[in-house]
Structure 1
Amino acid sequence: MEWESDERELKVAGALPLDGGRVGFLIHGWEIETTKRSILNSSHLQQWEEKLQTTHLPEMVFGESCLILKHVKSGIKLHFNAFDALCGWKLEALPPVEVPAAALWKFRCQPTDQVILDYDYTFTTPYSGSAGVEKSPESGRGPPEESICSPHWEDCEEQIDMVALSAKESILFYDEVVLYEDELADNGISLLTVKVRVMPSGWLVLLRFWLRVDGVLMRLRDTRMHCSFRESTVPVILREICWREATFKALSSLLCQLLQKGYPTNSAAYTDPRSISERLPMAMRKTQKLIVK
């Protein structure tokens, strides 16, 4: 985990290291834990293919990497992982993005192979995190990994106050976990990451899927979750989902405008979406609140 504060700030905030050799902290009743592992080996990839009923997976799947946030008192657990994200990809099953004919050969294993793109090779996912409630081991009602109910998200009018979150506030800790990545045979990038930022006032999570198919499409799917630290049995968690995308053809005039402002017009230059994200047309946006009954 990348610490952006000193031990004094953490101590003042009441943060305690997690036990059991886990990487993370307990702060204001929240256990915040990140796990980073290497990419899945061939045997694990085969197991995933069988479970997902597919023969296609991203080039790099960090299957054991994850971010977990657990509210100890209520048992609410938010989990961000590659397997659930790929389940969403498989279920959504978008049609494959058509690439320029001149670039199709790059998707071939052998020059003589016939090009068949009959699946979404971009691994676009609607995944916006996994939520559950764990039984408390102290309660004697069962093992900690066994779920007792399934929280659900309801649309709401409340909004995450991004202006307030943009105000200068010390960052107690920050980390980023890559869940999967594919360079689309040098035709772009497909990348799913999750970032967590913890401040004295609360935590903020950004789950981001970024797709760039060179010369064809840019797609950004962001999920933000925010929770303020309050003394409450059940915390208030807001989730904002925002999808943006545009074809390269539609972006061409925009990129020309950006050129005048010093932005590159070559789509391959946009390895990070931050420079263009707000300029992509919005396809969907909604805010939800986590409800536990």
Structure 2
Amino acid sequence: MAQAHIASTYEAYPRADGAEHVARATRTHRQGRFEIATRKLPISKAEPIDAMERELGIPVPEMIFGENAVAVRHAPTGWAIEFTARDALAAVDKTGRDMLRVAYASEWSASREQTSAGIRDVVKPYDWSYSTTYRGTVHLGRPGPPPPAPSTPPQDEHENNGSGGRENGENQTSAPLFLIPPPPPPPPAATPVTAPAARQFAPTTRGIPIELLKRRDPILFFDEVMLYESELDDNGISILSAKVRVHERRMLLLCRLFMRLDGVVVRVRDTRIYVDFETEEVIREYTVKELAFEEVKRKLLMTGLTPDGVTIALRDANRIAELVPTIEQTLESVSLKS
């Protein structure tokens, strides 16, 4: 399987072995007119963490994989969507409006802020459970053929709502996503120019075809990538991860936030990206599930689990997702076929 490396607005911080190190950590797969890539590197070190905290204005989770990424790109147009830790944390509430409370939450939060390099003098309220509303970073792609020569960075067009799209959990950016040379363009007459504005997600009523995904079709590419994890100072857990599986005719990417604040609340926030390789349609489903912690424990006990079994089950995001009710869901799609 070919390897290449991803470049985004927040490309990996320099390392001793540079681009070669990033390339070795990146897996890519091409299916139809789409390219799928994942990048997995170790936990970020002190210098990039300090830089990220200065930029975001909040302490980052204890385990932050700042160079990891999962991405899907439509090769002919350059349209792409990627998932990164940095952009996910940019979508965490920093107003204090969504802060959750435990017995000593304020003391813990203040301590974290005072000991984080680069923001010692800035004490800001923020959602210390890291319950991001992130739905992915969207690159709208080229304005139309022909694409720039390989030696020239692509000049993607994009739109931004003034807050990086982060009010609704989406970032839109123009940075090149893959450093894979695009295929030669067809003759101009054969490919109409498509405005990037037409490549934005729009509301739809058609959901992801779950029955097709349940079929036992061969899996051509699979990977799972951790973006960040926090134990909330032993008050629970907050994990953001993404996994992708590719079949011959379709693929599914799941980016999941699983947050359990002991004694308070359990949350599951899922972003699913479904791609039909034949129709070149992309569907994005965003689902929010939430329930009080004690109610989740009660439901687990009702399944016949022992108290020890409940403790174990509370760490299982897949099991919890089946128990917790949906409180919000949005469906969007974009057609990339020309």
TM-score bracket relative to the smaller structure? 0.7 to 0.9
- How far did residue 60 of structure 1 move? 1.2
Q: Which residue of 1 aligns with 2:288?
A: 243
Distance in 2 between residues matched to 1:187 and 1:19, nearest whole Å: 40
Distance 2:265 2:312 in 1: 11
1:74 aligns with 2:77: yes
Q: What is the TM-score normalised by the length of structure 2?
A: 0.70
Aligned counterpart for 1:140 among listed residues 133, 136, 148: 148
Is the 1:36–1:66 Cα contact (8 Å) retained in structure 2?
A: yes
TM-superposed CA distance for 1:104, in Å, is 8.3
Q: Could you say which structure has the higher strand fraction?
A: 1
**Match among 6, 26, 32 for residue 28 of structure 1:** 32
Q: Which residue number in structure 1 is paired with residue 264 of structure 2?
A: 216
User: Please, which of 301, 307, 313 is the counterpart of residue 256 of structure 1?
Assistant: 301
Q: Distance in 2 between matches of 1:104 and 1:48?
A: 23
Equivalent position SS for 2:55 = helix
Specify the alignment match of 1:124 in structure 2.
131
Shift of 1:92: 7.3
User: What is the alpha-carbon root mean square deviation over aligned residues?
Assistant: 3.1
What is the CA distance between 1:270 and its match in structure 2?
A: 1.9
Taking the aligned partners of 2:73 and 2:34, their CA distance within structure 1 comes to: 6
Is 1:228 matched up with 2:236?
no
**Distance (whole Å) between structure 2 residues aligned to residue 218 and residue 201 of structure 1:** 35
Unaligned runs of 5+ in 1: 1-15, 111-115
Aligned 8 A contact 1:214 1:267 in 2: no
Aligned residues: 268
Partners of 1:242 and 1:226 in 2: how far apart? 14
Give the one of 58, 61, 67 matched to 2:61.
58
8 A contact 2:29–2:221 mirrored in 1: no
2:158 to 149, 155, 170: 149
Once residues 88 and 19 of structure 1 are traced to their aligned partners in structure 2, the CA distance between those partners, rounded to angstroms, is 28
Query: SS at 1:147's partner residue?
Result: coil
Letter of the structure 2 residue corresponding to residue 88 of structure 1: A
Go from structure 1 to structure 2 and tell me whether the alpha carbon gap of 1:191 and 1:252 turns closer, same or farther (over 3 Å shift): closer
> Identity rate of aligned residues, in percent?
28
2-structure distance, mates of 1:51, 1:117: 14
Residue 48 of structure 1: how far off its partner (Å): 1.1
Per-residue CA deviations over 1:87-118 (Å, capped at 9, x if unaligned) read 111467543212246x98877869xxxxx994
CA contact (8 A) 1:31 1:71 kept: yes
Q: Pick from 226, 232, 243 the counterpart of residue 195 of structure 1.
A: 243
In 2, Cα distance between the equivalents of 1:104 and 1:155? 39
Of residues 92, 95, 100, the one that matches 2:98 is: 95
Change (3 A) 1:205 1:93: farther
